[in-house]
Structure 1
Amino acid sequence: MDTLDKNERLNQLFQLYGCLLTEKQRDYFVAYYVNDYSFAEIAEDYQVSRNAVFDQLKKASEHLENYEITLKLLEKKQLRMKLIENYLESHDESWILKLREMDDN
């Protein structure tokens, strides 16, 4: 997975699970992944070391991935979107039935 794909995935996971991170992790995540700040800029803003920023971002990423492993919200969202796309392309009602089956589980 290249850096762009990784960052996109992390942003999607953050949208789903960001509220489960600590305030510091959320702040650093937004500064780095959304606002495109460097470790040095974040460290300066929060008066911590660059290594502290790196460690918090690493922990945040690990937590987001672990939440997804457990809850699979992103996976389910992507599957729902694929089923909807398939229906819109084909107008085959079986895709809607599969979508409803997902919601029943």
Structure 2
Amino acid sequence: MKNQAYRMAMLYDFYGDLLTPRQKEFYDLYYNDDLSLAEIAENYDITRQGVRDIIVRAEKTLEDIEEKTGLIQRYHRTRATTAALRSLCSQLQALNQARFMDRELDDLGRQLSDAIDDLERE
């Protein structure tokens, strides 16, 4: 269940602005505010099934967009790659400190670390 909630949160974070205002509102109330279908239905004076249909349509829309763009998959791959690069950079800097004490290598290590920081901010 946690994986599903995480996936729905990621989909909403990446593509939520592409939903209709009503879909966004109901999706947000259901997943982020943890309201039940019945509570949302009561607040908006519609049926529980009507709320469910809107949320299911929103989920499908978000899933379809991810299937076509793959942005979330690319995001996770990029995060894994930058983490691996950061680890290698740290190892390189530690090796330089322990064996070589080369200022040029130290500077290159800092530049590499800064470039990784830039990637993570994007």
1:19-34 equivalences under 5 Å are 19-34=17-32
* Matched residue, 2:12: 14
Q: What is the CA distance between 1:55 and its match in structure 2? A: 0.8
Give 5+ residue unaligned stretches, structure 1.
101-105
Q: Output the CA distance in 2 between the equivalents of 1:89 and 1:9.
A: 27
Q: Which amino acid aligns with 1:27?
A: E
Match of residue 47 from structure 2: 49
* Cα drift, residue 46 of structure 1: 1.0
If the length of structure 2 is used for normalisation, what is the TM-score?
0.71
Between structure 1 and structure 2, the one with the greater Rg is: 2
- State the one-letter code of the partner of 2:66: E
Which runs of structure 2 are paired with 1:54-73 in the superposition (5 Å)?
54-73=52-71
Shift of 1:22: 0.8
Amino acid at match of 1:9: R
Structure 2 residue runs of 5 or longer lacking an equivalent are 93-111
Aligned identity (percent) is 28
**Distance across 1 between alignment mates of 2:44 and 2:69:** 32
The normalised TM-score by structure 1 is 0.82
Deviation at 1:86, TM superposition (A): 0.6
Letter in 1 for 2:33: N
- Cα RMSD over matched residues? 1.6
